[in-house]
Amino acid sequence: MQRRLKHSIVSMLLGSAMVLSACSEDIRKSGYYPLEQELAAVSIGQSTRAEVLEAMGSPTIQSDSAGPLYYVGQRTRYFGPFPPQIVNRQVVVVTFDSRGKVANVQTLGLEDGAVVVLSQRVTEPVAGDVSFYRQLFGNIGRVDASQLIGN
């Protein structure tokens, strides 16, 4: 009897430990956070695009060869069955002037972001609701023999 009681207590303790460990907090980093010394290596009005890329590495987003560089990183908190929560987001935007020199280095945080409402409109297909096979086989029987001969 006591042996059975010990086994049930041990089983309950192990089960409780497994349940509690599944609910532990998990912080995940994604993207890239430039370090302070990397940002300090960039001089406004003096550093070139090549020097910025050498100091800070490849950007997360780059529009074209003359456009701004975006370095985006974020930390997300995962806790048990709850939805993920963004804890911190940092966006470093490096813009360039017409000479190719750094014009501005701007650091934006999570509080600087804006909610973007996505449009729910759906573009109708050109062919309407006609399927591929209906389009393919729909012309069979519509061909007149006189059209083939050229009369």
- The per-residue pLDDT for 82 is 85
Residue 132 lies in a domain: no
Whether 96 maps to a domain, the answer reads yes
In a domain, 69, yes or no: yes
Task: Report if residue 4 sits inside a domain.
Answer: no
pLDDT of the residue at 51 = 92
Q: Is residue 18 a part of any domain in this protein?
A: no
Q: How far apart are alpha carbons 104 and 34 in whole angstroms?
A: 15
36 within domain boundaries? yes
Partners of residue 78 on adjacent β-strands: 26
Q: What is the residue-level pLDDT of the chain in tens, covering all 151 positions?
A: 677 777 778 777 776 666 656 667 888 888 888 888 998 999 999 999 999 999 998 898 887 777 899 999 999 998 878 888 888 888 899 999 989 899 999 988 888 876 666 666 666 666 566 777 777 777 776 767 676 676 5
Report the domain count for the chain.
1
Q: What is the DSSP letter of 111?
A: G
Which string of b and e fits 112-141 if b means at least 16 CB within 10 Å? eeeeeeeeeeeeeeeeeeeeeeeeeeeeee
**Domain of residue 108, residue span:** 24-120
For residue 67, what pLDDT is reported?
Answer: 87
Residue for token pair 């750094």: 102
Does residue 51 lie within any of the structural domains? yes
Q: Is residue 144 part of a domain?
A: no
